[in-house]
A and B are shown apart, each in its own frame.
Chain A
Amino acid sequence: MQTQRLLVILGLLWGVAQAETWQVKVTDNDGDPIAQAAVYVSSQTSPPKPVKPKEIVIDQIDKEFVNHLTVVRTGTPVSFPNHDKIRHHVYSFSAAKVFELPLYQGSPAKPVVFDKAGVVNLGCNIHDWMSAYVLVVDSPFFALTDSHGIAQLELPDGPGYVLSAWHPQLKSLTPDTLTIAANTPHNAGLVLTMNLKKNVRAIRLPTELGLNIGYR
């Protein structure tokens, strides 16, 4: 496997306000922004207050998961309502959460609670191309980058954080991290760099996309 390139930027956060919005940019090695990357606090000096997380929904619409990447705090219940007319069979064999929702229509009776931090790869047993990720983190502080590769994180004042970035196509198996020291100015221009790869996955056939181009 490729050696992981890690850029660590040290900064100091001055905790004056109750909560500050931090902008973290995620780019690849060429400096191009990476959208839909998760940025989250992977460790913090003081643990956050335990809060019962709200239930979150991952839809199945037109034989695709929506959204592709969802970040949740440990213990979050996730429901998988099926909006298609056909049945789906949602499963995960990832170590963080192994579960199955065998062939169902509509909303399942119970949400699945993701009680262990880690990456959970969701699939559908009858549609190979359907793939989604749930990144389960211990922290309540996380955000996804926009099309400019910028994630807006509202972090309370604190002694310092270690930020991590993750993306489904991350080359490394372990997420990149960025440690933000106390007293780092919030406009310090924080940048996380990561290398992406092309994932091996099943390809949805053109007919399944409803594009009338036929087989080749």
Chain B
Amino acid sequence: MSGRSACRRNSALILATVKRFRHFTRFRSRLLFYIIGLLLLVLAGVFVVVNHIFRQNTEETIHHELVVTERVFLRLLSERSQDLSQQATALASDYAFKRVIATQDHDTITSALINLSARAQADAAFLVALDNTVQIDTLRPEQAGQAFFSPALLEQAEREGVASRLMLVGRKPYQVIVVPILAPEPIAWLCLGFLVDNPVLAQLKQLTQVEISLLSEHGQTLQVHATTLPAPTPQQLPLYPVQSDGFFWHTGQERYLSRLVTLEQQADGKLVALIERPWSKALENFYRLQWLLLVIALFSIGLASLAAAWLAKSVSKPVQILAQGVQAIGQGDYRHQVQIDSTDEIGQLGLAFNSMGTQLLEKEKIRTLLGKVVSPVVAQELLNHELVLGGETREITALFTDLAGFTNISEQLSPQDLVALLNGYLTEMSAAISAHAGVLDKFIGDAIVAFWGAPVTDTAHAQQAVACALAMQRILQDLRKDWQRRGLPLLYMRVGINTGLAVVGNIGSIDRLDYTMIGDTVNLAARLEGANKYYGSGILISEFTYQHVSGLFACRELDKVRVQGKQQPVAVYEVIAEHKQLSVRQRQLCSGFAEALAAFRGQQFQQAQGMFGVLVEQHQDAASALYLRRIEELVSDGGRVGFDGVYDLAK
């Protein structure tokens, strides 16, 4: 995995996260929507169930009430009848009245009877002889002398001492009471009639809280005689279909649940009571409950809204904080820490986020430090791979530099100045190496070790190394000008470069290791660096490097050397400049030196001596001077047997 693609993936992730958080700004309203929706659903369910149960209960209650009311109504009627009977009994035992009857004076008796009935507030009074003929009828005087209209009532009175019945007299409903007039045995029947009219029913309604109508049934029609229902009530009511339990729905001005109660069954029809309860009145409690439910619903919706808003805020706020944190990290601010004061999962996320930031910061610190201690390329490689000891054989180009005469000047400068000088030099040089994609292996005092071709494969490792060497020499030239101004000693740099196979990798102990290189290639590069002294050159490369860079850089072959432990001699070259920047003098030097070297190797020593002499004279060429010394040695030796023009590098 390369660092760049990972970085790209990271930023894509951050972008997606930010987008998601933009959606989260609606999180609050969504939560509100869900909670209130759920609440409304629950409330609606409750309402439907309550409504259903209440209506069912109400109907059952009304049914029950009506059944109870029917009993109460009948009981009240019976008690009223008993009351009236007792009144009638009391009146019948009036001694004066008995005395009046004994007079047999019809008019007096009639007058006394009216007086008597007025005491009981009776609406009608009858006096019946023991032979059941009506003697006096205050309602219908013409009935005198006729048989009494209800012999059964007289029979009952004779049997039980008193008789009472609800019946129609002259098409009006009366509670008719018959009691004997005892003197002390019966001498006549006193009969009192109490009209059952609207006020009477109104009294009963007060006690029972139901609407009551008194009707007589003839065939298929009901005739209303008295009622508590608001006027106008139709005189004739059709018969409603009665349910099996005796109830039926009666729709008048409003809807009633009704019940018909037979009060008296007579030959020509029957007297019935219609007791009913308005449905709307029964539901009054329900309507109150409905209001209460509505208030509770509104209250709970308000409360739930507040709770949802608070919950949403408590959830979305830390999420927003985290989103901002992620953005900050994405922009490289690893020091950003989030503050979430909760111990729940979101709090844990915040802690994890902060810990992540700390770790990222730590890693970044290591990365920065590594970049300073080792080459950034190596640092990156080390960070991206698991750290392992061991290496691999690769073709690399190794570069060694050294400052000529640094040991001498170190004695002249204070340590501070020395370190400052060295630091300035090393900083510039390491920058040049980095600029040429080289790996700075190590500093050894004033010496620099660098290589190309590892850990990142680079086919142009040799060219890069040579270009870097040239650049370093140029930079040093500039530094020298600076040093000259400051009166510091002038320093020169020697560079040795070799290309070939070497073992590269993490070398050292597990606690402390270097990414470095070992092998003959490396040794030769170091030797070449030192050989500069011998040849008086600035940059020395082996023939192996030369093979890679000859097209780009102008070089001159200086020598063929025998490296220790190797049979094959190695040609060494001095790098002059890039081809295109090669000056005329340099070209002359190169071609002149090449001719002279050819003459030397062809053992034309005299000729070679002349040619090198010219070069020394014209170019102050140190290498040419070296060869002049070699020719002198050879000539003085009288010509060596087996001369091959190859010298040991150790020399």
Closest to A198 in B: B159
Closest residue of chain B to A130, judged by CB? B184
Please indicate the chain A residues that have their CB under 8 angstroms from the CB of B186 in the complex: 199-201
B185–A199 touching, CB < 8 Å: yes
Q: Is A36 interfacial (CB 8 A cutoff)?
A: no
Q: Does A1 contact B (CB under 8 A)?
A: yes
B180 within 8 A of A: yes
Q: Is A192 an interface residue (CB 8 A)?
A: no
Taking CB atoms, residues of chain B closer than 8 Å to A14 are: none
Q: Give chain A's interface secondary structure class.
A: strand
- Whether the pair A129, B180 counts as a contact (CB closer than 8 A) is no
Give Cα distance in the complex from A172 to B380, angstroms.
Answer: 143
Q: Give the complex CA separation of A110 and B184 in angstroms.
A: 23
The answer on a CB contact under 8 Å between A173 and B130 is yes
Q: Is the CB of A1 within 8 A of B131?
A: yes
Considering residues B101, B130, B132, B183, which has the most beta carbons from chain A within 10 angstroms of its beta carbon?
A: B183
Judging by beta carbons under 8 Å apart, are B182 and A125 in contact?
A: no
Cβ contact within 8 Å between B102 and A121: no
Q: Indicate which residue in B132, B161, B185 contacts A131 across the interface (CB closer than 8 Å).
A: B185
Binding stretch for chain A, among B19-27, B92-100, B641-649:
B92-100
A33 adjacent to chain B (CB < 8 Å)? no
In whole angstroms, how far apart are the Cα atoms of A131 and B187 in the complex? 13
B197 at the interface (CB under 8 A from A): no
Known contacts A93-B101, A98-B102, A173-B130; A121/B183 CB under 8 A: yes
* Contact, CB under 8 Å: B95 / A200: no
Query: Is B446 located at the chain interface by the 8 A CB criterion?
Result: no
A123 in contact (CB, < 8 A): yes
Do B102 and A131 have beta carbons less than 8 Å apart? no
For residue A109, CB closer than 8 A to chain B, the reply is no
Given the known interface contacts A93-B98, A128-B93, the answer about A202 and B184 at a Cβ–Cβ threshold of 8 Å is yes
Asked whether, in the complex, the Cβ of A128 is within 8 Å of the Cβ of B184, the reply is: yes
CB distance from A69 to the nearest CB of B (A): 12
Cβ-defined contact, A200 with B184, below 8 A: no
B158 at the interface (CB under 8 A from A): yes
Q: How far is the CB of B346 from chain A (nearest CB, A)?
A: 84
Given A1-B131, A128-B93 in contact, is the A201-B185 Cβ separation under 8 Å? yes
Choose from B98, B99, B161 the contact partner of A200 (Cβ within 8 Å): B161
Q: Determine whether A136 belongs to the interface, using a CB cutoff of 8 Å to chain B.
A: no
Q: Mark A184-208, 1 if CB is under 8 A from B, else 0.
A: 0000000000000111111000000
Provide the bound-state CA to CA distance between A128 and B98, in Å: 13
Contacts of A124 in B (CB 8 A): 184
Number of interface residues of B (CB under 8 A): 20
In chain A, positions 116-169 with a C-beta closer than 8 Å to chain B are: 121-125, 128-131, 168
**Most chain A CB neighbours (cut-off 10 Å) among B99, B161, B185:** B185
Of B130, B131, B132, B182, which one neighbours A128 at CB under 8 angstroms? Answer: B182
Query: Do A93 and B102 touch across chains, with their CB atoms under 8 A apart?
Result: yes
By a CB distance below 8 angstroms, the chain B residues around A173 are 130-131
Fill in one digit per residue for B141-174: 1 if any A CB lies within 8 Å of its CB, else 0: 0000000000000000111010000000000000
Contacts of A123 in B (CB 8 A): 182-185
Q: Which B-chain residue is minimally distant from A122 (CB atoms)?
A: B184
Given known A93-B99, A93-B102, A125-B95, contact A200–B183 (CB-CB < 8 A): no
Bound form: Cα–Cα A96–B93 in Å? 21
CB neighbours (8 Å) of B184 from chain A are 121-124, 128-131, 201-202
Return chain B residues, CB-CB under 8 Å to A198: 159
Decide: A200 near B182, CB < 8 A? Known: A125-B95, A128-B93.
Answer: yes
Please name all residues of chain B whose beta carbon is closer than 8 Å to the beta carbon of A91 when the two chains form the complex.
183
B66 CB to nearest chain A CB (Å): 34
Tell me which residues across on chain A come within 8 A of B183, comparing CB atoms.
91-93, 121, 123
Tell me how far the C-beta of B104 lies from the nearest C-beta in chain A, rounded to whole angstroms.
Answer: 8
Provide the bound-state CA to CA distance between A123 and B182, in Å.
Answer: 9
Question: Given A93-B187, A125-B95, A173-B130, is A202 in contact with B182 using a C-beta cutoff of 8 Å?
Answer: yes
Within 8 A of A (CB), among B307-330: none
* A212 CB to nearest B CB, Å: 25
Q: Which residue of A lies closest to B158 (CB)?
A: A200
- Asked if residues A200 and B185 are in contact (CB atoms below 8 Å), the reply is yes
Which residues on the A side are within 8 Å of B180 (C-beta)?
200
User: Nearest Cβ distance between residue B198 and chain A, in whole angstroms?
Assistant: 36
**Minimum Cβ distance to chain A for residue B133 (Å):** 11
Within the complex, the shortest CB–CB distance from B528 to chain A, in Å, comes to 148
When C-beta atoms are compared, the residue in chain A nearest to B130 turns out to be A173
Residues on B with C-beta less than 8 A from A125 are 95
Most central of B95, B98, B184 by chain A CB within 10 Å: B184
Are the CB atoms of A201 and B182 closer together than 8 Å?
Answer: yes
Q: Smallest CB–CB gap between A82 and chain B, Å?
A: 17
The residue on A at minimum CB distance from B89 is: A202
**Whole-angstrom distance between the alpha carbons of A181 and B443 in the complex?**
182
How close is A197's CB to chain B, nearest CB, in angstroms? Answer: 8
A131–B185 Cα distance when bound, in Å, is 7
In the complex, chain A residues 68-121 whose Cβ is within 8 Å of any chain B Cβ: 91-93, 98, 121
B333-368 contacts to A, CB under 8 A, are none
Docked CA distance A131–B98 (Å): 15
Q: Is the CB of A168 within 8 A of B185?
A: yes
Q: How far is the CA of A197 from the CA of B161 in the complex (A)?
A: 13
Within 8 A of A (CB), among B85-133: 93, 95, 98-99, 101-102, 130-132
For the complex, give the distance between the alpha carbons of A6 and B36 in Å.
98
**Which residues of A are found within 8 Å of B130, using beta-carbon distances?**
173
Whole-angstrom distance between the Cβ of B135 and the nearest chain A Cβ:
15
For the complex, give the distance between the alpha carbons of A1 and B185 in Å: 17
* A70: min CB distance to chain B, Å: 15
The residue on B at minimum CB distance from A126 is B95
Task: Determine the chain B residues whose CB is within 8 A of the CB of A199 once the complex forms.
Answer: 185-186
6 contacts between A and B (CB under 8 A): A91-B183, A98-B102, A124-B184, A200-B161, A200-B180, A201-B185
Listed in ascending order, the chain B residues whose CB lies under 8 Å from chain A are 93, 95, 98-99, 101-102, 130-132, 157-159, 161, 180, 182-187
Known: A93-B187, A197-B158, A202-B184. 19 other contacts (CB 8 A): A1-B132, A93-B101, A93-B102, A98-B102, A121-B185, A121-B187, A124-B184, A129-B184, A131-B184, A131-B185, A168-B185, A198-B159, A199-B185, A199-B186, A200-B158, A200-B186, A201-B184, A201-B185, A201-B186
Q: Which 7 A-B pairs have the closest CB atoms?
A: A123-B184, A93-B102, A131-B184, A93-B183, A200-B180, A121-B185, A125-B95
